Structure 1
Amino acid sequence: MKILAIADEESKYLWDYYERNKLEGVDLILSAGDLKPEYLSFLTTMYAIPVLYVPGNHDDKYEQHPPEGCICVDDDIYVHDGIRILGLGGSMRYRTGGNQYTDQQMHRRVRRLWWKLKKNKGFDILLTHSPAYQLNDGRDLPHQGFQDFVYLMEKYNPRFFIHGHVHVTYGRQHKRYDKYQNTHIINAYERCIFDYDDENLKDHIR
């Protein structure tokens, strides 16, 4: 399965300079947050590909204007063609506003998923907005990752962890690709395409 992961900045390549064949062969789009709802609706409509999303810390507008034709997987496990996708949106709380959580609040969100995790026997992709603690995150509070994401990878051994929030343009320490134990970690900033079954992902992600 070929997947397009997106986050944080709308791709002019896909939106302003639309050509349907640009995403030929892509089976699924995963949005890791902080993208305009109109953009997500455009992608699923014009490219005719399912879009699953979680909100970022700047996506309060999703409550009044959710992306049309797209599927929110926040605090849920969604199964697409046999692949189990767990969604946990938002960032570390650093100001007033929605979609921001303390470590304790995120821990409670994860604990509330216990039945869905048991029912689905785990998950294959962790889709979040924020990175995991000390794995491609920032040391400043707004960009610090969550400790429970590390716990989820260690306990359930998903194949992929996809996040946004830390733009690859912030500096060389924020990588497009990393790995933690057996989990491939992908920073979805703007856009990248990968094959779910690729055993040499580091060499082929684009």
Structure 2
Amino acid sequence: MSSTPIYYSKAEYIETDTGNKVSRRATISGPQNIILGGKTIICTGAIIRGDLRRVGPGHAVVISLGRYCLIGEGCVLRPPYKTYRGTFNYYPMKVGDHVHIGANSVVEAAAIGNHVEIGKNCVIGKFTMIKDCAKIADNTVIPPNTVIPALSSFSGSPGHFVEYLPESTQELVESSTKRYYNLFQPLDR
């Protein structure tokens, strides 16, 4: 990855007290049901559906994003759903720290661990569980209810195991997400 700054228009992004940078052209539905851990970037055209939630007390948080996450341009994050005993419900989605989701990916996972890379144009099926330090290649389709093991790489349509990743994956992804965040600079300071 280069060390060239990635410039954005300060007028286009809102920066929160915790360092989150959210594009004004992203769609954040139901923001009261979404938690951003800090230093997360949500790019132009991304859609996060916090308005789709279970009814009833104690079911407020629908989507939780950790620190140093990057939600690429045109991504869609929506909570997984199913009908159980005749009742239709949405379930929470938890995304860990240092997660990079590439442009135009659609994610309906139940949980995404820490230090995970999801490529561009991926489809992550409902209730998928992606463990820590996993990598999903560009254009991969992960079927619903799949469990992606830690330190593994998946690719294809449908997604299949390709190889195990090195133990250093955690450090590599963490330095990559921090570097990206630090290079993401306002053009008009």
**TM-score tier (shorter):** under 0.3
Q: Which has the higher strand share?
A: 2
- TM (norm. structure 1) is 0.25
Q: Which has the higher helix share?
A: 1
- TM (norm. structure 2) is 0.26
